[in-house]
Amino acid sequence: MNQKIQVKQHLEAGFKITSLDARETLGILDLPKRMSELREVGFEFKDRWKRVKTRFGGYTRVKEYYL
């Protein structure tokens, strides 16, 4: 199964996904590229910036994709 299909099925199952989630659960290192490829073939999804705490106690933003 290719990575685009894995991401599509993950989203269709009702899950949200970030780059960290994609790496840990699906083994996908370049999630933004997979999302771009899905958009090119007409798959529609939403995204937003999410503020998350870092392991050093600070905060950063990550892109979260969802249906």
Q: Indicate the DSSP class of residue 28.
A: -
Q: What global pTM score does this model have?
A: 0.88
The strand ranges marked E within 1-67 are 46-53, 59-66
The two structure tokens encoding residue 22: 């994609």
How many C-beta neighbours within 10 Å does residue 45 have? 16
pLDDT tens string, the chain, 67 residues long: the values are: 799 999 999 999 999 999 999 999 999 999 999 999 999 999 999 999 999 999 999 999 999 999 9
User: Any bridge partners for residue 53, and if so which?
Assistant: 59
Any idea where the domains of the chain sit in the sequence? 3-66
Asked whether the beta carbons of 45 and 65 are under 8 A apart, the reply is: yes
